[in-house]
């Protein structure tokens, strides 16, 4: 393994030589922290939409890329899910092992994911999950793959994905999503979110280890720039927006 060690030293040595004499250069990332903290960030952090307008934008952006969106009150969630599953004409669904039991509508075959092999997941017609957060600006759904969002494979193989998003989980801008991850740092402040929701990988203050940002069904424009939906990954994305009327951090109006 000598060759490997010397490649590392070669590369780091070249970098060091290239940066020699630059006073900004730090020996460790910790030393670079001060310079990092001083970097100018004049971009928009917080959105300006009202709560209602923000949710409307989220729905609008989702529909722009042909996701089906249904809004409902919290008490209607179970029945809304059941109705959507029925309307889909599909029968076999995968669910993450932490999905709330009330969401497992009767009359369908449920495969609860406890390390299901891929071939089993392939037999399913669809999947139902929660999510970590929605970003209205780009119509993005963010999964941190917690117990009620499920392993990455279950939102990948089935052709139909139903994602439950609470209105209180919707933020307007991408920087607000990063705030919501409760990673203190760039903006110095810690954002308190006294909820009972799970955070990332069950650890507040640390960035999540697994994230999937979904902003539409898969698509390609590789053939003559003609946009075709649904290459790999679910071709059908359905969202239920639960109007739970709460706001987390960044509550406006």
> Using CB under 8 A, which residues numbered 95 to 124 contact other proteins?
115, 118-119, 122
Closest CB to other proteins among 101 and 223?
223
111-117: list long-range contacts, CB under 8 Å, 24+ apart: 113/150, 113/151, 113/154, 116/154
Min separation Cβ 239 and other proteins, Å: 15
Give, as ranges, the residues between 33 and 52 that touch other proteins (CB under 8 A). 35-36, 39-44
Could you tell me the end-to-end alpha-carbon distance of the chain, in angstroms, rounded to an integer?
Answer: 61
Q: Which of 83, 92, 112, 183 binds other proteins (CB under 8 A)?
A: 183
Q: Tell me which H or E stretch contains 161.
A: strand 160-166
The answer to whether residue 217 forms part of the interface with other proteins (CB under 8 A) is yes
# residues contacting other proteins (CB under 8 A): 79
Task: Determine the Cα–Cα distance for residues 221 and 240; give it in Å rounded to an integer.
Answer: 28
Q: Nearest approach, Cβ of 11 to other proteins (angstroms)?
A: 5
Work out which of 32, 73, 86, 87 binds other proteins, going by CB under 8 A.
32
* Cα→Cα distances 22→14, 35, 41, 157, Å: 14, 13, 23, 50
Q: Is 244 in the site for other proteins (CB under 8 A)?
A: no
Instruction: Report yes or no: 222 and 57 within 8 Å, Cβ to Cβ.
Output: no
Neighbours of 22 (CB within 10 A): 8
Sorted by sequence, the CB contacts under 8 Å of residue 153 that are 6+ apart come out as 118, 121
Regarding 140 and contact with other proteins (CB under 8 A), the answer is yes
What is the nearest approach in angstroms of other proteins to the Cβ of residue 78?
28
- Other beta carbons within 10 Å of 10: 10
CB count within 10 Å of CB 70 equals: 17
Pick out residues in 46-85 that bind other proteins (CB under 8 A): 61, 65
Contacting range for other proteins; rule: CB under 8 A; set: 104-112, 137-145, 164-172, 245-253? 137-145
Binder to other proteins among 60, 189, 213, 245 (CB under 8 A)?
A: 213
Q: Are strands 219-220 and 92-96 parallel, antiparallel or unpaired?
A: unpaired
Which is nearer to other proteins, 14 or 52 (by Cβ)? 14
| Binding of residue 14 to other proteins (CB under 8 A) | yes
User: Does residue 129 bind other proteins (CB under 8 A)?
Assistant: no
**2, 22, 89, 253: which one binds other proteins (CB under 8 A):** 22
Binding-site member from 102, 225, 251, 253 for other proteins (CB under 8 A): 225
Contacts of 138 (CB under 8 A, 6+ apart): 61, 174, 215
User: Quick one: which of 53, 82, 83, 211 contacts other proteins (CB under 8 A)?
Assistant: 211
Does 231 engage in binding with other proteins (CB under 8 A)? yes
Applying the rule CB under 8 A, the residues between 189 and 208 that interact with other proteins are 206-208
Instruction: Give the strand pairing for 219-220 and 228-229.
Output: antiparallel
């Amino acid at each position: 393994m000598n060759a490997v060690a010397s490649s590392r030293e070669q590369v780091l040595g070249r970098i060091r030589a290239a940066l020699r004499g630059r006073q900004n250069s730090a020996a460790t990332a910790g030393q670079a922290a001060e310079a990092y903290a001083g970097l100018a960030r004049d971009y928009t952090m917080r959105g300006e939409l009202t709560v209602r307008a923000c949710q409307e934008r989220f729905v609008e952006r989702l529909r722009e890329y042909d996701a089906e969106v249904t809004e409902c009150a919290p008490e209607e969630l179970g029945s809304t899910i059941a109705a959507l599953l029925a309307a889909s004409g599909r029968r076999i669904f995968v669910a993450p092992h932490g999905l709330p039991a009330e969401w497992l509508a009767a009359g369908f075959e449920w495969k609860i994911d406890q390390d299901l092999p891929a071939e089993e997941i392939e037999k399913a017609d669809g999947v139902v999950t929660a999510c970590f957060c929605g970003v209205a600006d780009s119509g993005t759904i963010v999964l941190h793959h917690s117990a009620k969002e499920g392993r990455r494979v279950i939102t990948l193989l089935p052709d139909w994905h139903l994602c439950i998003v609470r209105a209180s989980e919707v933020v307007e801008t991408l920087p607000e999503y990063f705030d919501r991850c409760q990673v203190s740092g760039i903006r110095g402040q810690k954002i308190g979110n006294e909820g009972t929701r799970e955070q990332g990988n069950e650890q507040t203050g640390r960035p999540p280890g697994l994230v999937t940002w979904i902003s539409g069904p898969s698509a390609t424009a590789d053939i003559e720039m003609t946009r075709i939906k649904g290459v790999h990954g679910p071709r059908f994305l359905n969202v239920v927006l639960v109007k739970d009327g709460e706001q987390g951090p960044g509550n406006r109006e």
